[in-house]
Amino acid sequence: MEFYDVVNTRRSVRNYKPDEIPEDILGRVLEAARAAPSGSNRQPWKYILVKNPEMRKKVATLSGGQPWIAEAPIVIVACGSDIKYDRGGYMGEMSFLLDSAIGLTHLILAARAEGLGTCWIGLFDNESIKDLLEIPPGWNVTAVTPLGYPKEPKWTQPGKRKAISEIVAVDEWS
């Protein structure tokens, strides 16, 4: 699939088939996340693939009580760690959030290229999911996404978006 088609037709999917994802496809999607850039190439992320149906339901409950999340055959819990590396400026310990987001974005776009659906979930109970999945100290959940084949694929062009002039400035804020 052509790159710009992937970018322009990626959608948040909230209905999934129970079909398993073939290992070769899952491998390519995970490889895309592994290949993502990070500050000083430290890759301060880890992805927990939650496949057990009961565990998926628990993660869905801890993600704003959204049961549809557990419909997907895999729920990915993205985690990030403060790498204790002074990158300067105000980013400091929060840089793992950006690095983790870059990796998960690669994963989500690769999933779209493979015909898989995802939905970036930012509403979750960090501490409870950490307890559930035995995530060690120093690590935090940065996002959750179901991963699976959409029940009713709607790979359309994006809805209304701001004009380029509203999101881009040259040389100064304008």
CATH assignment of the domain containing 65: 3.40.109.10
The tally of domains found in the chain comes to 1
pTM for the full predicted model: 0.92
* Residue 174 falls inside a structural domain: no
* Confidence grade of residue 95 (pLDDT, cut at 50, 70, 90): confident
Question: In the predicted model, what is the mean pLDDT of residues 2-19?
Answer: 95
Question: In the predicted model, what is the mean pLDDT of residues 57-77?
Answer: 98
| pLDDT attached to residue 88 | 64
**Domain ranges, residue 117:** 3-167
**DSSP letters for the chain:** --HHHHHHH--B---B--PPPPHHHHHHHHHHHHT---GGG---EEEEEE-SHHHHHHHHHTTTS-GGGGGSSEEEEEEEE------STTTGGGHHHHHHHHHHHHHHHHHHHTT-EE--B----HHHHHHHHTPPTTEEEEEEEEEE-BSS---PPP-----HHHH--SSS--
* Residue 118 falls inside a structural domain: yes
Mean pLDDT of the chain: 92
Q: List pLDDT tens digits, range 128-150.
A: 999 999 999 999 999 999 999 99
Question: In the predicted model, what is the mean pLDDT of residues 25-44?
Answer: 91
* Residue 149 falls inside a structural domain: yes
